[in-house]
Chains A and B, each alone.
Chain A
């Protein structure tokens, strides 16, 4: 460095700072004021959000648009039933509850701005339910950061050991789910299978469990294909699968993709389709109607096995759930909703509301810890099956254990639950018939 260079640098700094000192200082000052105002308003809005009186908003975080829009509508229906039950039981700490749609579009990237906006703008956003696997990874951190307890149905194995304290998973993880696929196939005599899963986080989540399970159970995976969603044709993949001569096809994806794939399979294989093993996630009106239109009304009942977590349908809780649905929807809709196995979200709303009553606060950081307190089986607690029963017991200063439609929920230290798996076939009217139950321990052990 030459003397002249350093001299020039000092000269430049002196001149620049000298000439622009006040504009720099004033600019910095303005920026500081703006930043302070934003910080204060965030704190103010957060605290005003947390402690404002009025309706408690339950955010239903799900896709309400796009190929998976039906999922959001179903989640919302279960929330509406739960909200009805809570409001009919006197509300929460004098406030009624309402379900608010938070459209995550089913796309992990699009979900971020939508969920962020919802967190910032929905007043009294004190509870969240729903959340499918596809968007879990991007939106759970947002909701956890906002300190809103979230009851979720995503089964991503990545969250098995999560440290997110506001995260409550109500279903077993997807690896165990995949093991259930493998167990059923082998038990049913189908040891040579083809895997065809849509390339989405939700659809492919069970694949690792299936691969481990089939290997451990001495089955054979003839083909493991991933297909992009919503394509006009899957002819090449279909031809590959047909050539492999599978005894069963394990699959998952959105209804549109599944209908296209299996319609082409039937067409190219002269009407013959092997048994299909898939998730109860596909128990959607769209799936049934599309398959019926292209493959006939008997196709799904005769070819498809659905595997999902077991629902025990505790009688009192189930009756309350059905009553809540009947009060909120038309009879035909109630019948369709009861077939969807979404009572877990109804239970979630009731659990959240009971926890708020227990903690005497609707603020997430306060009532979050009370969730375990109202769902833990232990000596001396009062088992309750409806919100009204729970509130009455809490007012009588009793400790409660809410056993809802799903049965007893046993949360581990990471707020996850285990449950058995159930295999269903569909009746032509769309209702499900249970064929078998796989205990949770058996599913876990088949992973090796």
Chain B
């Protein structure tokens, strides 16, 4: 029971980071109909921006905030200069993915050029360990879980209670119709990319804080977990991604605990494959999607 509780706790902690990233990823798909493979490289960029600021004497928390906001801006720029033009020129879903793959490689290469190919570390910001009811968490893990919960609640309130949220749902449902109704869809899309880019940045910094040391491949290796969570919950469905992130995190840690750590990835891949084969739309109905929310 103790081993199970511990693995469950570890799964919740890693699931929180996956959720933070997966929700941002899936909202981008929902709003722009583009699967942004650059997401992993952007997470890495955020981690390195925070690291660079920390090395210059900025406190890690201020550095993290700067990195998160910077990623919001970078994501807006990425959409404006790459993704939106690709869509306008009729690149199609696959063409846009290929564009983002190469953009991700460029960002990764730039990180290597500027920061080097070696590993870096923020140092130990974990804080004391908290144990209770068989669970074991570090203070930073509890903080990240809290941050993720707060972000999800904030996102829910944004989507359901605010004008921007309504405009976002309308744009996701039918951009042309939304524009015809007077919604400034371009601003809405910019706002969505800023929001999701910030979540991407938060996920990148959170991941780097928990893993001790990292290099230019940080986000790339984590992308599969977020992709699995997004697919499990249903592409374009933020509420689905919230649950999906938790499921993927817990499944990976249980696989590591009860078989072998090498099966962590296998668990994530396995979930992805099983969902694609059996229920490609994800486990949640359209009702939970951005477009579906508009229709309710």
On whether the two chains bind one another, the answer is yes
Residues of A within 8 A of B7 (CB): 235-236, 239
A232 to B118, CA, bound (A): 16
Check: B171 CB closer than 8 A to any chain A CB: no
Q: Which residue of B lies closest to A289 (CB)?
A: B121
Q: Tell me if A236 and B6 are in contact (CB < 8 A).
A: yes
A69 to B117, CA, bound (A): 7
Q: Tell me if B214 and A256 are in contact (CB < 8 A).
A: yes
Q: Tell me if B3 and A243 are in contact (CB < 8 A).
A: yes
**Residues from 404 to 429 in A contacting B, C-beta threshold 8 Å:** none
Check: A286 CB closer than 8 A to any chain B CB: yes
**Residues from 35 to 57 in B contacting A, C-beta threshold 8 Å:** none
Check: B217 CB closer than 8 A to any chain A CB: yes
A268 to B9, CA, bound (A): 12
Check: A66 CB closer than 8 A to any chain B CB: yes
Looking at the assembled complex, report how far the CB atom of B226 sits from the nearest CB atom of chain A, in whole angstroms.
12
Looking at the assembled complex, report how far the CB atom of B209 sits from the nearest CB atom of chain A, in whole angstroms.
10
Residues of B within 8 A of A19 (CB): none
A270 to B127, CA, bound (A): 11
Check: A190 CB closer than 8 A to any chain B CB: no
Check: A293 CB closer than 8 A to any chain B CB: yes
Given known contacts A228-B262, A293-B124, A295-B124, A235 and B213 CB-to-CB distance under 8 angstroms: no
Check: A339 CB closer than 8 A to any chain B CB: no
**Residues from 43 to 67 in A contacting B, C-beta threshold 8 Å:** 65-67
**Hey, which bits of chain B sit against chain A, CB under 8 A?**
2-3, 6-7, 10, 13-14, 17, 117-119, 121, 123-124, 126, 129, 136, 138, 207, 210-215, 217, 221-222, 253, 256-257, 260-262, 264-265
Q: Mark A211-249, 1 if CB is under 8 A from B, else 0.
A: 000000000000001111011111111011001000000
Q: Tell me if B10 and A236 are in contact (CB < 8 A).
A: yes
Q: Tell me if B117 and A268 are in contact (CB < 8 A).
A: no
Given known contacts A233-B10, A239-B136, A267-B126, A226 and B214 CB-to-CB distance under 8 angstroms: no
Residues of A within 8 A of B260 (CB): 225-226
Q: Which of B17, B210, B222, B264 contacts A228 (CB 8 A)?
A: B264
Q: Tell me if A234 and B261 are in contact (CB < 8 A).
A: yes
Q: What are 6 A-B pairs at a CB distance below 8 A?
A: A65-B117, A231-B211, A237-B256, A240-B3, A290-B119, A290-B212
Looking at the assembled complex, report how far the CB atom of A127 sits from the nearest CB atom of chain B, in whole angstroms.
26
Looking at the assembled complex, report how far the CB atom of A258 sits from the nearest CB atom of chain B, in whole angstroms.
10
Q: Which residue of A lies closest to B222 (CB)?
A: A232
Q: Tell me if A239 and B261 are in contact (CB < 8 A).
A: no
Q: Tell me if A231 and B3 are in contact (CB < 8 A).
A: no
A225 to B213, CA, bound (A): 21
Check: A79 CB closer than 8 A to any chain B CB: no
Which residue, of B118, B222, B257, B262, has the highest number of chain A Cβ atoms within 10 A?
A: B118
Looking at the assembled complex, report how far the CB atom of A4 sits from the nearest CB atom of chain B, in whole angstroms.
48
Q: Tell me if A236 and B118 are in contact (CB < 8 A).
A: no
A4 to B173, CA, bound (A): 65
Q: Which of A66, A235, A263 contacts B212 (CB 8 A)?
A: A263
Which residue, of B10, B256, B265, has the highest number of chain A Cβ atoms within 10 A?
A: B256
Q: A239-B7, A240-B257, A286-B118 are in contact. List 10 more A-B contacts (CB 8 A).
A: A69-B118, A228-B264, A230-B215, A231-B211, A232-B210, A233-B211, A235-B6, A236-B6, A240-B3, A256-B212
Residues of A within 8 A of B119 (CB): 67, 255-256, 286, 290
Q: Tell me if A232 and B207 are in contact (CB < 8 A).
A: yes
Q: Tell me if A267 and B261 are in contact (CB < 8 A).
A: no
A294 to B125, CA, bound (A): 8
Q: Which residue of A lies closest to B217 (CB)?
A: A230
Q: Tell me if B221 and A230 are in contact (CB < 8 A).
A: yes
A230 to B260, CA, bound (A): 15
Residues of B within 8 A of A66 (CB): 117
Looking at the assembled complex, report how far the CB atom of B81 sits from the nearest CB atom of chain A, in whole angstroms.
29
Residues of B within 8 A of A65 (CB): 117
A295 to B124, CA, bound (A): 7
Q: Which of A267, A294, A295 contacts B129 (CB 8 A)?
A: A267
Q: Mark A282-325, 1 if CB is under 8 A from B, else 0.
A: 00001000100111000000000000000000000000000000
Looking at the assembled complex, report how far the CB atom of A336 sits from the nearest CB atom of chain B, in whole angstroms.
15
A268 to B131, CA, bound (A): 9
Residues of A within 8 A of B222 (CB): 232
Given known contacts A239-B257, A240-B3, A231 and B118 CB-to-CB distance under 8 angstroms: no
A67 to B14, CA, bound (A): 23
Looking at the assembled complex, report how far the CB atom of A133 sits from the nearest CB atom of chain B, in whole angstroms.
19
Given known contacts A70-B118, A256-B213, A236 and B257 CB-to-CB distance under 8 angstroms: yes
Residues of B within 8 A of A235 (CB): 6-7, 10, 13, 253
Check: A326 CB closer than 8 A to any chain B CB: no
Residues of B within 8 A of A199 (CB): 262
Looking at the assembled complex, report how far the CB atom of A260 sits from the nearest CB atom of chain B, in whole angstroms.
4
A237 to B255, CA, bound (A): 11
Check: A74 CB closer than 8 A to any chain B CB: no
Q: Which residue of A lies closest to B214 (CB)?
A: A256
Q: Tell me if B261 and A237 are in contact (CB < 8 A).
A: yes
Q: Tell me if B129 and A268 are in contact (CB < 8 A).
A: yes
A267 to B141, CA, bound (A): 12
Q: Mark A262-287, 1 if CB is under 8 A from B, else 0.
A: 01100110100000000000000010
Q: Tell me if A293 and B121 are in contact (CB < 8 A).
A: yes
A237 to B260, CA, bound (A): 8
Q: Tell me if B261 and A236 are in contact (CB < 8 A).
A: yes
Q: Which residue of B lies closest to A296 (CB)?
A: B124
Check: A102 CB closer than 8 A to any chain B CB: no
Check: A259 CB closer than 8 A to any chain B CB: yes
Q: Tell me if A236 and B124 are in contact (CB < 8 A).
A: no
Looking at the assembled complex, report how far the CB atom of B279 sits from the nearest CB atom of chain A, in whole angstroms.
28
Q: Which of A227, A256, A295 contacts B261 (CB 8 A)?
A: A227
Residues of B within 8 A of A67 (CB): 119, 215
Q: Tell me if B3 and A239 are in contact (CB < 8 A).
A: yes
Looking at the assembled complex, report how far the CB atom of A280 sits from the nearest CB atom of chain B, in whole angstroms.
20
Residues of A within 8 A of B129 (CB): 267-268, 270
Residues of A within 8 A of B264 (CB): 228, 231
Residues of A within 8 A of B3 (CB): 239-240, 243
Residues of A within 8 A of B10 (CB): 233, 235-236, 239
Q: Which residue of B lies closest to A261 (CB)?
A: B212
A225 to B263, CA, bound (A): 12
